[in-house]
Structure 1
Amino acid sequence: MAETEKIETHRTRCISKLKIFLLAITLAFVSKTLSGSYMNSMLTQIERQFNIPTSLVGFINGSFEIGNLLLIIFVSYFGTKLHRPIMIGVGCVVMGVGCFLQSLPHFLMDRYEYESIILGNSSSNSFLCKENETQIFRPTEGPSDYVKEVKSLMWVYVLVGNMIRGIGETPIMPLGISYIEDFAKSENSPLYIGFVETGAIIGPLFGLLLASFCANVYVDIGSVNTDDLTITPTDTRWVGAWWFGLLICAGVNVLTAIPFFFLPKTLTKEGQKDNADIKNDKEEKQIEEVKKKNDGITKGK
């Protein structure tokens, strides 16, 4: 009976430490890749929303790597000396803050107004059309007349938010992988890391599905009557609800951070007994020796 209770206690302790960390870090990988793939899919919608040039969109996309590079060396070196699970949890919260900041322009800007007339091809001085199977050339304005005018500087929120998201992602991979390698059995470590990498593969799948859904929802859903719209998701003037998915990503990132704040700084190496187990073993041996002595005295009498 005592042996059974001992096995159950040891099994519960293992589940509540290393296995929970493995589950938490896998979910963190899912959430960070979910946010990244969603953001990359929504760049076209953001370009239309703010009417910004493609070069600026590329800079916004690269701001994530800029934020990541700012701290990756310091986190990798000093992170192992600190409380790694809490560092990862803080990183997840920072990613959530970054996603929320990216969605903020939608609530600060006026409603999106699309042009009622689609202009011709700006790559040449004229374009070819057909009317009654007759080819007609119609003059159009020069390319200089089609230079985009940025509607608002609110795109800066998206830029800074994406950079903050990159900063938040910094501790997840180096500290998470090192934590597993330090406290898992050498033969189990590749398996655990494989689970984590599986999460990194699943995340983009959910991100693309979420992007597909949000792209078909009008950007000002809830504040305008969608029945009055004269454009559809296939129209080049359509802007999907890019902000809605960012709010979901923010919530997911914050939720995945919660378990890390309850995990210890260090664990007993998997397969080895901790101090409590050693102490219990000594106490059980002493009790057994006392019982044997008492049995011997009883039999002698």
Structure 2
Amino acid sequence: MTEERRKDTLETSETLPFIEKPFAISDEARKSENESGREDDGKDTHCGFWILKGPSMQRFATEKMYVILYGLAGCVMTMTFAYFNATITTLEKRYKIPTKVSGIISVGNDISTMLTAAILGYYAGHGHRPRWMGIGLLTIVAFCLLTSSLHFLYGAGEDALKLTREFGQVNETLASQERDKKLCQPSAGGCVQEEVGQWVPQVFLFAAQLIAGVGQALFYTLGIAYMDDNASKSKTPAMLSMSTFLRMLGPAIGYSLAALCLRLYIEPTLEPLIGREDPRWLGAWWLGWLVLAAMTLVSAILLFMFPKELPSSKRRRLQLKQTERKQSLPLKERSFGDMMKTVRKLSKNKVYIYNTIASILYFFGYMAYWIFTPKYIETQYRQSAAMATMATGTVALGFSAAGVLISGYVISKYRPSARAMACWNAIVDFVTVAGILCYVAIGCEGSDRLNSLTTLSAGNSCSASCHCDYVHYAPVCSPENITYISACHAGCTERTKDALGRTIYTGCQCLGSSSLNPQPESQFAVDGTCPVDCFSEFLIFLGVMCFLKLVGASSKSTNLLIALRCMPPEEKTFALGLGSMVASLLGFIPSPVFFGWLIDNYCLVWGKTCSNKGNCWLYDTKSLRYALNLSAAVFIFLGGFLNIAVWYHAKDLKIFDDEQSPKDSLKNTNNEVEMKPIDSKPLAN
């Protein structure tokens, strides 16, 4: 390294807040550095690859640039998973998928993460980590393209096309026959023909999620360890906070992108006959995946350019080489036997074990809201898919980002102890439980009343022919503002149009049956669901959710710092990978399946395919609200007690390096002060 280049590095570090100023390099350290440089020709610290390299690229090989790029790449990755969650109800309707099955599909990435995280973290952790991370992002590109390709293979679907103006213009006879199916026709046997099931798209979606999980494992396991290894420990909280903040912008942008796409009809070139508030509306779910694929590809290319080791980190490592540290020891060849010894060693680390289990319990309970919040808002508060995704993403996740920034500032400024961090994690768990209990109380009477439509007409002979286990959901609204599953369930026999062009069903014998003097003129129904005003309750729910997002996000940095500091540095990458694998096995995988099964248990109106149940059209909202929220609260409540155990055993855990004065730094240069990493010693059991 020339004197001019060292000067440039020093000047650059003055302007970058996340970079610790490099130590003055002694003659012996400089000699060691020159020898190391001759060995690898500077390749390990060289920025760029292939034709995208050169002297002008080396200025970007800094800690600050890595934090920004890693955060932005993480932002794009979280956009993809948020987009999938935001469009999951549309996918259920389009491909007739029960919620339990969609829950299984959504954990495909966690299954592959579980199977690969520990192995990739152990073996790839000592390779060129930024390039491995870039490969991981390429698998996310494949995930986006595979998912969107379903639309190009299967099209918009017959159900969606039947609800467009062009469908009747192309084939008026077929359109008329389709409308007649909704009427009460006892001679036809009542039950409608079963719809064609499509299991191939479900397998396709699951396979795409499996591929994405490999990229997720590479990106998170290697990315955090690379950041911690290439930065001063005192700067790690600020760097984690900044990268987490950038990552958390991803769900907000992903949900906003989904809201924009879902406002368009699934086939944008056709004119739909229903509004966005109609539960049969299908948005252009496939459109956003093409945008996400392009953004992820750019992020992968940029990550490929980062060096194996940052120049500033190499200088620190060369200084530590003068002391009796692990950096002075040659790297051992990685073997399966050594990996199992590391597993046994970590299993005796109480802080690591309790912190991991506490995180798993929190994830298990809160996963229901990460995945099914848009669906929850649609069913409980009768909001459109676009409104539900916008509220979940842009508004609520904005509070999450604020929580991460605030916690990062507080941690960097006040440098709390490990015990204080564990105590805060426990407080966050118990506050979250209190907020979830508030969810139980925030119901909507108008929405809950809709679940009475099944029993309302079940005992009436006027619509007996329509009562099958599976029905075609085509709701109509009576003058009493009661929604019926279909015109057949309302006992309607005729169909006409009013002056506004709306479809009106007449001769509806089931309407007014509860009145003493039913009037024939009132026995009509309008196509579509009755309007339900749940907006006030929705705003209250949104306020509580934003508060929980703010509080919950503040524990992300504290939880991760405890995880990073409770293990020796040489075990860091593997321990993160192992923790990710266990979290996937016990939390991320079973939780969506469990809550998907729970939601399906409260379905009132099922669609039907030739081979299985289809998607659910209507839920018992009140019972679902109690079951879903109370179940989630139990798991998070148990996690709070595990964080108390972390607090008890973390009394000797150090999070930060000891503060050093300028004189100490000069002494360090001459090797007169021993530099002792705070996490180089395993925790006492």
Which TM-score band applies after superposition, normalised by the shorter structure?
0.7 to 0.9
Supply the distance in 1 between the matched residues of 2:3 and 2:113 (Cα, whole angstroms).
Answer: 50
Identity, in percent, stands at 27
* Structure 1 residue 156 corresponds to structure 2 residue 203: yes
Which ranges of structure 2 fall in alignment gaps of 5 or more residues? 13-57, 163-177, 183-188, 319-685
Match of 1:192 in 2: 239
In the alignment, what sits opposite 2:66?
21
Paired residues for 1:61-80 under 5 Å: 61-80=106-125
Q: Residue 153 of structure 1: CA displacement?
A: 2.1
Match of 2:266 among 197, 219, 232: 219
> What is the letter of the counterpart of residue 188 of structure 1?
K
The one-letter amino acid paired with 1:45 is T
Residue 57 of structure 1: aligned partner? 102
Q: Which amino acid aligns with 2:241?
A: G
Query: Is 1:7 paired with 2:50?
Result: no
- 2:124 pairs with 1:83: no
- With over 3 angstroms needed to count, the CA separation of the structure-2 counterparts of 1:110 and 1:202, relative to structure 1, is closer
Question: Residues 72-94 of structure 1: CA distance to partner in whole angstroms, max 9, x if unpaired?
Answer: 11111112111100010110111
Residue 677 of structure 2 aligns with which residue?
none
- Residue of 161, 166, 170 corresponding to 2:213: 166
Secondary structure of the corresponding residue to residue 72 of structure 2:
helix
CA 1:232 to 1:152, structure 2 compared with 1: closer, same or farther past 3 Å? farther
The separation in 2 between residues aligned to 1:146 and 1:64, in whole angstroms, is 36
Change (3 A) 1:118 1:257: farther
Residues in 1 aligned to 2:250 and 2:193: alpha-carbon distance in whole angstroms: 38
| 1:185–1:271 CA contact under 8 A, matched in 2 | no
Q: Is the 8 A contact 1:185 1:269 kept in 2?
A: no
Q: Post-superposition shift, 1:245? A: 1.1
* Higher RCO (CA < 8 A, seq sep 6+): 1
8 Å contact from structure 1 (residues 76, 175) kept in 2: yes
2:223 aligned partner:
176
Q: Are the counterparts in 2 of residues 34 and 207 from structure 1 also a CA contact under 8 Å?
A: yes
**What CA distance in whole angstroms lies between the structure 1 residues aligned with 2:71 and 2:253?**
14
Mapped partners of 1:36, 1:59: distance in 2: 14
Paired residues of 2:62 and 2:312 also in contact (CA < 8 A): no
2:286 partner letter: W
How much does 1:213 deviate? Answer: 0.8
How far off its partner does 1:14 sit? 6.2
Q: Using a 3 Å threshold, how does the CA distance of structure 1 residues 92 and 118 change in structure 2: closer, same or farther?
A: farther
Cα distance in 2 between the residues matched to 1:119 and 1:169: 47
Describe the superposition over 1:210-251 as per-residue Cα deviations: whole angstroms up to 9, x where unpaired.
111111111122xx332xx21222222211111111112211
**Deviation by residue 1:87-135 (Cα, 9 ceiling, x = unmatched):** 1011011111111101111111133222565999xxxxxxxxxxxxxxx
Q: Distance in 2 between matches of 1:272 and 1:107?
A: 53
What is the RMSD computed on CA atoms of the aligned residues? Answer: 2.9
With normalisation by structure 1, the TM-score equals 0.74
Paired AA for residue 119 in structure 2:
F
3-state secondary structure, aligned to 1:154: helix
1:183–1:270: 8 Å Cα contact kept in structure 2? Answer: yes
Structure 1 pair 17–141 and aligned structure 2 pair: CA distance change class (3 A) = farther
Matched, 1:267 2:310: yes
Q: Distance in 2 between matches of 1:259 and 1:159?
A: 28
Mapped contact 2:62–2:311 kept (Cα < 8 A): no
- Cα 1:3–1:78 change in 2 (3 A) is closer
Structure 1 unaligned regions, length at least 5: 121-139, 276-301
Deviation of 1:8 (Å): 2.8
Question: Which range is displaced more, 158-167 or 29-38?
Answer: 158-167
